[in-house]
């Protein structure tokens, strides 16, 4: 096995996947930035959820908003629903893992808030449940998916934003999700701070 060639192929494939995705994602990313900024300006909060690598993405996003991305500003209201082990285990034990995010959205989410739902397949049952709970509670949704969007893509409403990576490969979808999160964070900062460039 030629590990050097394999590593080169990963870098090349990742770069090409990003270039292929920009046309599909640029406009919805801009729409998501505007929706998220409006949520925050209206004293709403952004709740974020996902499983595995997508859970890490939810936490990454919330950390960049509460802390800072690249520009100094006050902290912004974002909560990763993936971090409280007592809630995660209690809800999973009492109601089942499919309810682990929906229960939190129903308890914490209010009209005027927003859910960032992350699922590479668009079919994660607990993220699907969170989207349903968000709609029930009057939250808008920004969904980060891949593989055509799955069930989440079919659930979204006109006021939601779908960021669907045009790829079938999990690693490439996750890499583009990270880039999309950085675009969202940068765009929110520019929007809120009035940066023109």
Q: Residue 111 carries which DSSP code? A: T
161-165: strand order across its sheet: 78-80, 46-49, 114-118, 140-146, 161-165
pTM above 0.95, yes or no: yes
Q: Two tokens at 121? A: 């397949």
* pLDDT exceeds 90 at position 89: yes
- Rounded to an integer, the average pLDDT of 157-163 is 97
Cα–Cα distance for residue pair 25/189, rounded to 1 Å? 19
pLDDT tens for residues 92-140? 999 999 999 999 999 999 999 999 999 999 999 999 999 999 999 999 9
Instruction: Give the dihedral sign, CA 105/48/191/75.
Output: positive
- Rounded to an integer, the average pLDDT of 67-89 is 97
Domains and CATH numbers, the chain: 3-27+35-193 (3.40.50.10490)
Cα–Cα distance for residue pair 90/76, rounded to 1 Å? 28
By percentage, how much of the chain surpasses pLDDT 90? 97
- Strands, E assignment, 22-135: 46-49, 78-80, 114-118
Residue 196 pLDDT grade (very low, low, confident, very high; cuts 50, 70, 90): confident
pLDDT of residue 197: 72
Q: How far is CA 67 from CA 29, 51, 99, 113, 126, in A?
A: 21, 22, 29, 19, 27
Question: 62: helix, coil or strand?
Answer: helix
């Amino acid at each position: 096995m030629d590990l050097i060639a394999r590593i080169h192929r990963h870098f090349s494939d990742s770069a090409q996947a990003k270039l292929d995705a920009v046309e599909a994602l640029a406009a919805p990313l801009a729409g998501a930035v505007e929706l998220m900024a409006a949520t925050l300006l209206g004293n709403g909060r952004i709740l974020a959820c996902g499983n595995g690598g997508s859970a890490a993405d939810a936490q990454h996003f919330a950390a960049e908003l509460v802390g800072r991305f690249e520009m100094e500003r006050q902290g912004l209201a974002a909560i990763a629903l993936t971090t409280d082990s007592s809630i995660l285990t209690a809800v999973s034990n009492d109601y089942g893992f499919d309810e682990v995010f929906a229960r939190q959205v129903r308890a914490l989410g209010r009209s005027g808030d927003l859910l960032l739902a992350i699922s590479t397949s668009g079919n994660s049952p607990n993220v699907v449940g969170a989207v349903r709970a968000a709609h029930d509670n009057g939250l808008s949704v920004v969904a980060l998916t891949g593989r055509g969007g799955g069930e989440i893509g079919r659930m979204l409403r006109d006021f939601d934003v779908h960021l669907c990576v045009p790829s079938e490969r999990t690693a490439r979808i996750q890499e583009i999700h990270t880039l999309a999160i950085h675009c969202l964070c940068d765009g929110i900062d520019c929007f809120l701070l009035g940066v023109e460039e």
